[in-house]
């Protein structure tokens, strides 16, 4: 490849306070959880090939941790690395990395970003200066104590301190709503906020939790403003699994914990939340209509005739149950399989 790529937000996502003090690493911090928009986008894009793509991504992150500038995919002279070299080092096929780079650098994903030559030179120069100054060397520490201590994740609480890799975190918002808090400008992609709000509203409705749309919008806006875009999707998954009985308490506790860790005033941030876009109050019914439209044609193909309202409702119910079991929208292949299974239970149309 002729362009220099960098793993987006390397320092925020893959580094910890301890690791930033070290000249070299023997392992790298990785976000946990599988509800992020980026991960789900990968599943939808690659289907059965997703394990290979995600494996290549993990290998690339590990490789990037040992680069001259961590996260910047260059050699010691600032020249772009060849995919063939990365493939040989990690023992992955070149084709997998070609697919990964093409997808991860998309504007809608941006797990990878292109770095202009001036920025490459500046980062290389900064790295060289850092290396020439005294610092902590792992060679002088016994038993590999230079690495941050391993901690077991708390599976009973949402991942509130680790930033996830999602398009919201990695892209500049197109339609931004801004609020000033503590002299810092908060930017939230309103379209992304509306999207995660609608998804959570659907999960709340299916579990018979009476929460108004404006409150869910507030939760979504605050979670995105605090770079916790996976908070609402994770709550939706937990609702589907019947792991949360009091969603309002769950979200409020999570948001207060995040603000407390960062020394922020939640009340002050909440005052910057814009008004809920009332024009989108019918989002739930719109989503149902979109699902009906998505199911109609493949169901008709499976039946060999136009489905009745009862058959269409049964197919929608089957797809909804599948979505609940997955904790996310099904892929096209999963959708077709569910529809085909449902169609086999129907009597032939007269």
Tokens of 179: 């609020």
228 and 294 in a single domain? The answer is no
User: pLDDT tens per residue, the chain (350 residues)?
Assistant: 678 899 988 888 888 888 888 888 888 888 877 777 788 889 988 999 999 999 999 999 999 998 888 889 988 888 888 998 899 888 999 999 999 999 999 888 889 998 888 887 887 777 655 554 444 434 333 333 444 444 444 444 444 343 343 333 333 333 333 444 444 445 677 777 888 888 888 888 878 888 888 889 899 889 888 888 788 888 888 887 788 888 999 999 989 988 888 888 888 888 888 887 765 444 444 455 556 667 777 777 778 777 777 777 788 878 877 877 777 777 777 888 888 887 776 655 44
> Degrees (nearest 5) of the Cα angle 31, 35, 38?
75
Flag whether 164 is in a domain.
no
Rg (CA), the chain: 23
CB 323 within 8 A of CB 206: no
- Residue 27 CB: number of other CB atoms within 10 A? 12
Torsion, Cα 246 252 257 260, to 10 degrees, reads: -160
Flag whether 98 is in a domain.
yes
CA distances from 60 to 23, 71, 172, 261, 295 (A): 19, 9, 24, 31, 38
pLDDT value of residue 192: 79
43 and 78 in a single domain? The answer is yes
Torsion, Cα 168 171 172 174, to 10 degrees, reads: -70
Domain boundary among 252, 280, 308: 280
Flag whether 157 is in a domain.
no
Flag whether 161 is in a domain.
no
DSSP state of 80: B
The Cα–Cα gap between 27 and 84 comes to 23
Tell the residue number behind the tokens 């980026």, with chain if given: 38
Tokens of 137: 């060397």
120 and 225 in a single domain? The answer is no
How many CA atoms are closer than 13 Å to the CA of 305, on its beta-carbon side? Answer: 9
Largest CA distance in the chain: 83
SS3 for 307? coil
Flag whether 146 is in a domain.
no
Segment 98-101 long-range contacts (CB within 8 Å, at least 24 positions apart) = 99/46, 99/49, 99/53, 100/53, 100/56, 100/57, 100/60, 101/1, 101/5
> Domain range spanning residue 182?
172-280
Contacts of 259 by beta carbon, 8 Å cutoff, 6+ apart: 226, 265, 266, 269
Flag whether 156 is in a domain.
no
- Which run of H or E residues covers position 5? strand 4-7
pLDDT value of residue 63: 92
Domain boundary among 253, 280, 307: 280
What's the pTM value of the predicted model, to 2 decimals?
0.41
Q: How many domains does the chain have?
A: 3
Flag whether 268 is in a domain.
yes
29 and 93 in a single domain? The answer is yes
Flag whether 149 is in a domain.
no
pLDDT value of residue 346: 61
Tokens of 183: 């002299």
SS3 for 57? helix
Kindly report the backbone phi and psi dihedral angles of residue 179, in degrees, each rounded to the nearest multiple of 5, phi listed first: -145, 140
Tokens of 97: 């990395």
pLDDT value of residue 111: 92
221 and 336 in a single domain? The answer is no
- Residue 251 CB: number of other CB atoms within 10 A? 24
Intra-chain end-to-end CA distance of the chain, in Å: 59
């Amino acid at each position: 490849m002729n362009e220099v790529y960098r793993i987006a937000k390397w320092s925020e996502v893959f580094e910890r306070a301890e690791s930033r003090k070290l000249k070299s690493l023997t392992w790298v911090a990785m976000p946990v959880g599988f509800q992020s928009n980026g991960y789900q986008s990968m599943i939808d894009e690659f289907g059965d090939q997703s394990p290979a793509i995600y494996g290549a991504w993990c290998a690339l992150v590990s490789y990037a941790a040992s680069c001259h500038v961590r996260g910047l995919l260059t050699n010691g002279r600032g020249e772009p690395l060849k995919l063939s070299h990365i493939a040989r080092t990690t023992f992955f096929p070149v084709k997998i990395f070609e697919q990964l780079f093409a997808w991860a650098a998309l504007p809608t994903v941006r797990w990878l970003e292109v770095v202009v030559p001036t920025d490459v030179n500046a980062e290389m120069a900064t790295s060289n200066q850092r290396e020439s100054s005294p610092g902590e060397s792992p060679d002088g520490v016994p038993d590999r104590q230079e690495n941050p201590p391993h901690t077991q994740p708390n599976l009973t609480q949402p991942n509130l301190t680790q930033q996830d890799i999602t398009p919201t975190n990695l892209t500049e918002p197109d339609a931004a709503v801004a609020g000033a808090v503590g002299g810092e400008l908060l930017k939230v992609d309103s379209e992304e906020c509306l999207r995660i709000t609608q998804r959570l509203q659907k999960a709340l409705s299916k579990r018979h939790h009476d929460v108004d749309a404006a409150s869910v919008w507030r939760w979504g806006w605050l979670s995105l403003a605090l770079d916790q875009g996976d908070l609402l999707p994770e709550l939706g998954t937990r609702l589907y699994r019947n792991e949360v009985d009091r969603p309002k308490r769950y979200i409020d506790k999570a948001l207060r914990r995040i603000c407390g860790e960062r020394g922020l005033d939640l009340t002050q941030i909440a005052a910057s939340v814009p008004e809920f876009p009332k024009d989108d109050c019918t989002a739930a019914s719109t989503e149902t209509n979109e699902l009906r439209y998505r199911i109609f044609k493949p169901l008709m193909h499976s039946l060999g005739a136009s489905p009745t309202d009862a058959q269409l409702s049964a197919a929608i119910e089957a797809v909804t149950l599948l979505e609940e079991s997955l904790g996310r929208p099904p892929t096209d292949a999963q959708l077709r399989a569910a529809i085909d299974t449902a169609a086999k239970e129907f009597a032939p149309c007269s």
